[in-house]
Structure 1
Amino acid sequence: MAAPWMVREDARLRERRGHERLRAEGGGPDHRLVFTDRVIATLVILRFQLPHAVLAVFYGVDRSTVTRAVHEIRPLPAARGFAVPGETGLRLHTMADVFAHAAAKGVELRHRGTEVRVRRPKADRPGRRAFGTGKVRQNTKRATVISDEAGRTRWAGVIRPGRMHDQGATRRRTQRAVARRGGRLMSAV
């Protein structure tokens, strides 16, 4: 997983700079978390939904370092898809795949919206106010996680601005997928 991450990260940085590197490779600030620690932190957060601040204390870094690591690493396992427990070789890539599998196997699904604190978007960014949330009074994003009745993660995604309610963040997309696939969806309490 390290090689695809390095390629994607170099491309992202090149696009952000608008040109090739001016310094030699290795110049600039070091990552406080090595690649392996970034992957482990991301998997722990996806599986156990621990706050980023808890892992920051564990690794001895700032919360924003863990948040950045999760933001950078999260697309890698998501691109591989989510493995289905007990079925080797089957991976669920989209929400439609999850509902199709649930309908075929009679699995009851639960969805949960988790809130992740983010830095306040730049002043000139459209929709800046959408990231503010009334409940926490912070700037946040919401991620949707769908699990089965045993609590095993089947899919994670649908990142929305924090101002949107948990139910509203997933309702439109999940209702369309449920209607298309004939599955059942139960909200987590």
Structure 2
Amino acid sequence: MVGNASCAAIISDRRITGLSADVIAELVAELVPLRHERHQAKLASRPRKRAVGAGAKHQLVFVDRLLATLVHLRHAVTHDVLACWFGVDRSTITCAIAEVRPLLAERGCTVSPGVRLRTLSEVIDHLGVDGKTGIIDGTEIRVRRPAAGSKNRDAFISGKNKQNAVKTMVVTDEDGRVLLCSPTRPGSCADITHARQLGLVKLLADGPTVEILADAGYQGLGAQTSGRVITPPHRTFKRNAPDWYEEMYERQRKAHSSRRIRVEHGIAHLKNWRALTCHLGRREHMSHTVQAIAGLLSHQQTADLTSGRPM
């Protein structure tokens, strides 16, 4: 177990975890009962082979396991370094992160105290009820290249950056608050294909009237959603365009970009968590990592708004 002084330093200094002490306290109060309930359900799902109380004991209490996970997500600290800091074996840190990370990912994004969004359908309904504009964009996270000879090895090569990456679709509101990060897809998947696979077209067709801003990577969705997805204007003149058209086109493009820039700010806040800059662990964990960080960031943003502190 980490010393009380070190534990207090992690909690009190927001630079270490990216979260305030109040938000960490709320996380502990929420996750401890949930973790205990799932642990008991797991034990009850199979015949008992040991006496009650037998078996290996956790070397880290749940609060320390949570803090280790937060530090790992915020600064991409390796398991070996965390093991030295907390005075345990590396495998203990690995097990702790593997246990806590899915719990954080399932929380969803907080939009107000007690209200969370976990699916794209809930996001569309939330935007429709509040009459807000949504903004979508795809972002890529570099990952390790699959081993030689592995199946679909080239699927992770991004057509944009020519690097091995996974892609997630980020949804924010017009204020730049993160509302959703989708499960990750291989980097070769186009932005518009990812949006279609998530069911965005059907949700906009069957759901409330919502305006969605997107970049040129989503051109084509506007026609499929009756104009609800707004993308930059197409160029009418490919060559020898008149001066008046160039001025009009540039003005329209900049107006759209200035409205859509909020999602870039939201992605920048996400990338402040170093686990999303270059992931060197297993690619299978990336969906949980992205969604856990989105949930933590949105929780802190909501807490800052409630307290009157600027985001």
TM range (shorter): 0.5 to 0.7
Matched, 1:186 2:186: no
How many residues align structurally?
A: 148
Alpha-carbon separation, structure 2, partners of 1:147 and 1:40: 25
Alpha-carbon separation, structure 2, partners of 1:140 and 1:127: 13
Give 2:136's aligned residue: 111
Q: TM-score, structure 1 length as denominator?
A: 0.61
Percent identity of paired positions between Structure 1 and Structure 2: 29
Greater relative CO, 1 or 2 (CA 8 Å, sep 6+): 2
Q: In the alignment, residue 128 of structure 1 is paired with which amino acid?
A: R
Q: CA deviation at 1:178?
A: 1.7
Larger Rg: 2
Pairs within 5 Å for 1:145-160: 145-160=170-185
Matched, 1:177 2:211: no
Residues 130 and 162, structure 1, Cα contact 8 Å, conserved in 2: yes
Residues 178 and 184, structure 1, Cα contact 8 Å, conserved in 2: no
Alpha-carbon separation, structure 2, partners of 1:150 and 1:4: 33
Residues 69 and 101, structure 2, Cα contact 8 Å, conserved in 1: no
Give 1:38's aligned residue: 69
Question: Residues 35 and 97 (structure 1 numbering): CA distance in 2 closer, same or farther, change over 3 Å?
Answer: same
Q: CA deviation at 1:93?
A: 1.6
Residues 99 and 177, structure 1, Cα contact 8 Å, conserved in 2: yes
Structure number with the higher helix fraction is 2
- Backbone CA RMSD of aligned residues: 3.5
Alpha-carbon separation, structure 1, partners of 2:139 and 2:68: 22
Q: In the alignment, residue 180 of structure 1 is paired with which amino acid?
A: D
Q: Deviations over 1:33-85 (max 9, x none)?
A: 9641422553x5xxxxxxxxxx34xx5x59xx9xx99x955532331222213
Alpha-carbon separation, structure 2, partners of 1:40 and 1:160: 25
Give 1:138's aligned residue: 163
Unaligned runs of 5+ in 2: 1-30, 43-55, 59-63, 83-93, 215-259, 262-311
Q: CA deviation at 1:148?
A: 0.5
Unaligned runs of 5+ in 1: 12-23, 27-32, 45-54
Alpha-carbon separation, structure 1, partners of 2:151 and 2:206: 33
Q: TM-score, structure 2 length as denominator?
A: 0.40
Q: In the alignment, residue 67 of structure 2 is paired with which amino acid?
A: T
Give 2:35's aligned residue: 4
Q: In the alignment, residue 176 of structure 1 is paired with which amino acid?
A: K
Matched, 1:81 2:108: yes
